[in-house]
Amino acid sequence: MAIEEPVFDLLEHAGAFQRRLYASRIVAETVVDGTLAQASAAGFRRIARYLFGANHRAGETQPAAQTDGAVAAPQQIQTHREAEKIAMTAPVSIERFGGRWRVQFIMPRRYTLAALPRPRHPGIALRELPAQQTAVLVFSGWVRAHTVDAKTRALLDWLAQHQLEPVSTPQLARYNPPWTLPFLRRNEILIDYR
């Protein structure tokens, strides 16, 4: 079974560099401390637990009630029915967020924000990202902090050469499980632009 990835239109492909137009998408995200490696591991574990069932299914709407001829508005009732497993997607992304790290998983397209199960962990947020133009640098191999820095500088230089203005912090996206051989790994640096 193929792992679902976010939908985008490829606007330009020049070697390792790409410009993409991403469709809107929903993410589960958490903010963690540590080094890049520590934060990646901690954030991955926290959100993976949510995906594997540490959640509450979305609430149900109670029908409108009638009292003395007046109709009350429908109410959202939070239920705690059994947990729901959510399919894994790729990539897992991480970016600097203040002095911390924000780790994100993109949710499967079949969900709306209202239909997603609610995380049990208070440090996980669900939000919708709008459609966005994004510059991307694709690379393989191990992800180390110095590699991420070098690839980020290269992508920022490419944006400057094309007179495109960065509008987001750089994001590292990883597509493969940890046992994947380095030369088969797919990694990306992404920066939104206008």
Q: Looking at residue 75, what is its pLDDT?
A: 45
Statement: residue 60 has pLDDT above 50: no
In this prediction, residues 2-22 reach a mean pLDDT of 97
**Residue 69 domain flag:** no
- CATH assignment at residue 182: 3.20.80.10
Query: Which tops the pLDDT comparison, 186 or 71?
Result: 186
Domain residues for the domain of 29 are 8-55+80-192
The domain total for the chain is 1
DSSP annotation of 147 reads: H
> What value does the mean pLDDT take over residues 83-106?
96
The mean of the pLDDT values for the chain is 90
CA distance 95 to 97: 6
Asked whether residue 75 is domain-assigned, the answer is no
pLDDT at 57: 86
Which residue type does 95 have? E
Is there a domain that residue 1 lies in?
no
* Radius of gyration of the chain from its Cα atoms, rounded to whole angstroms: 20
Structure confidence at residue 144 (pLDDT) = 94
Distant-in-sequence, close-in-space partners of 160: CB < 8 Å, separation ≥ 6 = none
In angstroms, the CA 131 to CA 142 distance is: 30
Please give the average per-residue pLDDT across 51-67, as a whole number: 67
Looking at the domain assignment, is residue 32 inside a domain? yes
Q: What's residue 65's pLDDT?
A: 43
Backbone angles phi, psi at 3, to 5 degrees: -85, 130
- pLDDT category at 59 given cuts 50, 70, 90 is low
Q: Which pTM was predicted?
A: 0.86
Is 60 inside a domain boundary? Answer: no
For residue 133, being part of any structural domain is answered with: yes
pLDDT tens digits, one per residue of 124-174: 999 999 999 999 999 999 999 999 999 999 999 999 999 999 999 999 999
Residue 166 main-chain phi, psi, to 5 deg: -65, 140
In-domain check, residue 70: no
- Evaluate whether residue 65 is within a structural domain: no
Average pLDDT over residues 11-36: 98
